[in-house]
Amino acid sequence: MIDFFEHIDDYMEGSLDPSLQLQFEAALKTDKSLAKAVENYDVAKKISEALLEIEIAQTIADLENESNKDATDTNEDTRKTPIKNNSKLLWLLLGICLLSFLAYLGFKKGQEEKSLNQFMATVFKAPIDPDATKSIDEVKMDDFQRAKYYYRLNRFKDSEALLKEIIQDNSNQDTIQLAYFWLGHALIQQQQLDAARSAWLKSGMEEVENCK
Amino acid sequence: MENSEIIQIIRSGEKGRNEIIRQLYKDDKLRGGIRSVTYKMGAKEDDFNDIFNTTLMQFIKTAINKKELVISSHLHTYIIGVAKNTWINIAREKGKFYTNDLEDFNDPVEYITPEKILIDEGNRTLLHEVLDKLGVNCKEVLILWASHYKMAEIAEIMTYKSADMAKKKKYQCYKKLLQIIEDNPGLRDILRL
């Protein structure tokens, strides 16, 4: 038995042999499904052509979505990145500030040390005084001699106390200035720089006045 | 890869076709070439996606439908030629300005007759849903049938044992499609038949 559905293409193209053509046309009159298949042939062919377009369009649409998703992800990353970057930048700035501050402190300390060194180099020369070197009977010493003597013995605190008493009790300006001179030395040996400087200023030491 | 190989892959079925489309879609040099030529012809950035996607579709359709197709130039040159004509068609349809003064261009652009696009973008999704019922193999057989492939060629591509087997398969698929047409009378309108 002939399956006319298999010959639809040839029938539509007019390439059936004449006897089959006649049989096909006869079948069209009795077989409704065959008649419908012939009637819809152009539509079916057009849809079949369109299948390719649909498939390509779908592939391109998928690629576009993929591309858009990548772009969105990139944008999100980009949006996130500035925060990270800002955070990094903030830390960097804080780091720089901290380093600058430390450098400043170091510099300042260096300057202070330099300044102190200059100061020390300028004004601090342990005084040599016979009263400060001789070891005599302490009983016969006056207060000033004793203060210098204590200085020599590295009893700076005792020396300081005596010198302050001398300054307070004495009215002789030369003695007071000299006492301040020794007081400065006693104080600087105790690392009381400001007090030493102040004492030396009162003693009239020009080096101290010029040292800032 | 040789142009003939690319065409063969496109004709081999959906999988190979999609791979070629993917490669071309992501080909920045091709995009740049199409952009350069069509912009010189009056296209704007807003038109580019339309031009590029339609060009890809035209190229794939041509590779399948024109069995005698031989691309002697560089593939990019050929596709840029398709893009050029695609832009002219789009500009005409949408009433946009375009120029076709070939003397302005140094590019050796081939003149390619574009394949007719059958379905509006808006109807593709609808058709995709309806025709998905056909299944992958039936779609492929019908695509090849609509592209005037002989049953022996369809059998070779689809790896069926014989041309008769391909004929039988095509017949089954055709019946499936007729049923879909019966069930969806709106398909005629969509295809403007």
pLDDT at A212 over 80: no
Q: Is residue B103 very low, low, confident or very high in pLDDT (cuts 50, 70, 90)? A: very low
Higher pLDDT, A113 or B155: B155
Task: Tell me which architecture the domain covering A126-210 has in CATH.
Answer: Alpha Horseshoe (1.25)
C-alpha distances in Å from residue B29, one per residue of A179, B15, B34, B42, B106: 94, 24, 9, 20, 17
Each residue's pLDDT tens digit, B127-170: 777 788 888 899 999 999 988 898 999 999 999 999 999 989 99
Q: Which of A5, A43, A54 sits opposite B128 (nearest CB)?
A: A54
Q: Check B18 against A59: CB less than 8 A apart.
A: yes
Q: Which of A50, A58, A60 sits opposite B191 (nearest CB)?
A: A50
Q: Which of B11, B121, B178 to mutate to test the interface with A (most CBs of A within 10 A)?
A: B178
Q: What is the pLDDT of residue A88?
A: 75
Cα radius of gyration rounded to whole Å, chain B? 18
B99: nearest Cα among B39, B58, B144: B39
Q: Which of A43, A48, A53 sits opposite B57 (nearest CB)?
A: A53
B139 contacts on A by Cβ (under 8 Å)? 51, 55
Task: Tell me which architecture the domain covering B3-104 has in CATH.
Answer: Orthogonal Bundle (1.10)
Least confident of A124-133, A163-172, A175-184, B136-145: A124-133
Tokens 């002939």 identify what position? A2
pLDDT at A13 over 90: no
Residue ranges in chain A assigned as alpha helix (H): 8-13, 18-30, 32-39, 41-123, 130-133, 143-152, 156-169, 173-189, 193-203, 206-210
What percentage of chain A has pLDDT greater than the value 90? 10
Interface of chain A toward chain B, CB-CB under 8 angstroms: 3, 5-6, 8-9, 36-37, 40, 42-60, 63-64
C-alpha distances in Å from residue A81, one per residue of A11, A76, A77, A89, B84: 67, 8, 6, 11, 40
Q: Which letter, b or e, does each residue of B7-41 get, where b requires 16 or more Cβ atoms within 10 Å of its Cβ? A: bebbbebbeebbebbeebbeeeebeebbbebbeeb
Each residue's pLDDT tens digit, A125-151: 667 666 665 555 566 678 888 888 888
Average pLDDT over residues B97-120: 60
Q: Check A47 against B178: CB less than 8 A apart.
A: no
For A62, which residue in chain B has the nearest alpha carbon?
B22
pLDDT at B11 over 50: yes
Q: Check B146 against A51: CB less than 8 A apart.
A: yes
Q: What is d(CA B174, CA B171) in angstroms, rounded to the nearest whole number?
A: 5
Cβ neighbours around B94 below 10 Å, total = 10
Domain segments of chain A: what residues? 4-39, 126-210
Q: What is the pLDDT of residue A120?
A: 62
Average pLDDT over residues A18-32: 92
Q: Check A53 against B188: CB less than 8 A apart.
A: no
Predicted TM-score (pTM) of this structure: 0.61
What percentage of chain B has pLDDT greater than the value 90? 45
Q: Is residue A117 very low, low, confident or very high in pLDDT (cuts 50, 70, 90)? A: low
Each residue's pLDDT tens digit, A196-206: 888 888 887 76
Q: What is the pLDDT of residue A173?
A: 81
For A41, which residue in chain B has the nearest alpha carbon?
B178
What percentage of chain B has pLDDT greater than the value 70? 89
Cβ-count burial of B153 within 10 angstroms (0-12 exposed, 13-18 middle, 19+ buried)?
middle
Q: What is the pLDDT of residue B24?
A: 95
Å from B110 to nearest chain A CA? 23
Q: Check A59 against B119: CB less than 8 A apart.
A: no
B64 contacts on A by Cβ (under 8 Å)? 52
B146 contacts on A by Cβ (under 8 Å)? 45-46, 48-49, 51-52
Give the mean pLDDT of chain A: 80
Q: What is the pLDDT of residue A89?
A: 78
A44 contacts on B by Cβ (under 8 Å)? 174, 177-178, 181
Å from B76 to nearest chain A CA? 18
B175 contacts on A by Cβ (under 8 Å)? 5, 37
Domain segments of chain B: what residues? 3-104, 121-190
Q: Which residues, including other chains, have CB under 8 Å from residue A184's CB and lie 6 or more apart?
A: A123, A196, A197, A199, A200, A203, A205, A208
Give the mean pLDDT of chain B: 85
Q: What is the pLDDT of residue B131?
A: 82
Cβ-count burial of B177 within 10 angstroms (0-12 exposed, 13-18 middle, 19+ buried)?
buried
Interface of chain B toward chain A, CB-CB under 8 angstroms: 14, 17-18, 21-22, 25-26, 49, 53, 56-57, 60-61, 64, 117-119, 121, 124, 127-128, 131, 134, 139, 142-143, 145-147, 167-168, 171, 174-175, 177-178, 180-182, 187-188, 191, 193
pLDDT at A114 over 70: no
pLDDT at B52 over 80: yes
pLDDT at A47 over 60: yes
pLDDT at B21 over 90: yes
Q: Is residue A121 very low, low, confident or very high in pLDDT (cuts 50, 70, 90)? A: low
Higher pLDDT, B51 or B189: B51
pLDDT at B62 over 80: yes
Q: Check B21 against A56: CB less than 8 A apart.
A: yes
Average pLDDT over residues B7-15: 91
